[in-house]
Amino acid sequence: MTARTLLACLLLWCTCAQASPAKSHQFKSSDGVKLHYLEAGVGPMTLVFVPGWLMPASIFERQIADLSSDYRVIVLDPRGQGRSKAPVDKLQAVSRARDVDELLRHARVGPHVLIGWSLGVMEVLDYSVRFQHPQLRGLVLIDNSIGMASPPASALNRNRPMKADAFRAYVNRFAAGMFKQTPPEGMLSAIEASATQLPPPAAWGLLNKPYDRTYYKNAVLAATTPVWYAITPRFAEQSAELLQTHPQASATVFEDAGHALFVDKADLFNQGLRQFLASTP
């Protein structure tokens, strides 16, 4: 094989191995809310991401770009976030959990792994309690409490500003504080656009889940699939209890990473996720 032929083969392999660009889709929920999601890639396994409080689907851009070369990747814009608009009277916890179920049905998702980050951890676990999920193959819970051990101090400011200007300033500080590395260009502006579309009382109301910590602990322990807990050090105590009490649990502590650890340590996170996926049935 000549050097020119070898180079051509390598270029062809690289072209084929590239992830497909994400496509935007919408569907209407059973209560009439138009929900948006991103989708890329194909494969026998689907990875379904649920972002955190007020965050847009695009925050998982590095995961979409990398993982869609081998998997179907779907990222939801939860109602009231990103490009999923919602009236303030339709933001209840049960509605957001039901959205996950209806997304899976709308997109005709087969075997899949659910991946929740921050508030998305609580909503993925809530979904797992409320709905049937016979094709669920694993849970990935990213950097939030799971109701075990002692809860760490909240990263959110207890003095919650309610006026729009003050809330926007708070959101900007909160978003910047999620990273220990410089985030990709445009990410902070996308976060601000997503996080400020709800009026402040409605935005804060998303955090008022009608359950105590035991609800989420029991949801994790009831999971019959492998569970990967990807966390920053402040959740290490909960990680230790999880590993002692769930027979299919694994955990990774991401040192020197912010709350958006999958952005700060994207390559390491994606590698860890691939290893976890190799262990799923």
Average pLDDT over residues 48-66: 98
In a domain, 8, yes or no: no
Considering the chain, what percentage of its residues have pLDDT values greater than 70? 90
- Closest C-alpha to 120, from 162, 151, 78: 78
Dihedral (CA of 41, 28, 140, 132) sign: negative
b vs e for 226-247, b when ≥16 Cβ sit within 10 Å of the residue's Cβ?
bbbbbbbeebeebbebbeeebe
Is the pLDDT at 116 greater than 50? The verdict is yes
Model pLDDT for residues 124-159, shown as the tens digit of each residue:
999 999 998 999 999 999 999 999 998 877 666 655
In a domain, 6, yes or no: no
Q: Which CATH number does the domain housing residue 181 bear?
A: 3.40.50.1820
Model pLDDT for residues 23-33, shown as the tens digit of each residue:
999 999 999 99
Model pLDDT for residues 245-261, shown as the tens digit of each residue:
999 999 999 999 999 99
Considering the chain, what percentage of its residues have pLDDT values greater than 90? 85
Average pLDDT over residues 202-222: 95
Number of domains in the chain: 1
- The CA radius of gyration of the chain, in Å to the nearest whole number, is 19
Q: How confident is the model at residue 19 (pLDDT cuts 50, 70, 90)?
A: low
Sheet with 112-117, side-by-side order of all strands:
23-28, 34-40, 72-77, 46-50, 112-117, 136-142, 227-231, 249-253
- Which residues constitute the domain of residue 81? 17-278
Q: How far apart are CA 214 and CA 261, in angstroms?
A: 26
In a domain, 85, yes or no: yes
Locate the DSSP E strands across 78-209.
112-117, 136-142
In a domain, 3, yes or no: no
Dihedral (CA of 14, 230, 61, 79) sign: positive
**Entry pTM:** 0.91
In a domain, 5, yes or no: no
Asked if 171 contacts 190 with a C-beta cutoff of 8 angstroms, the reply is no
Q: How many CB atoms lie within 10 A of CB 121?
A: 25
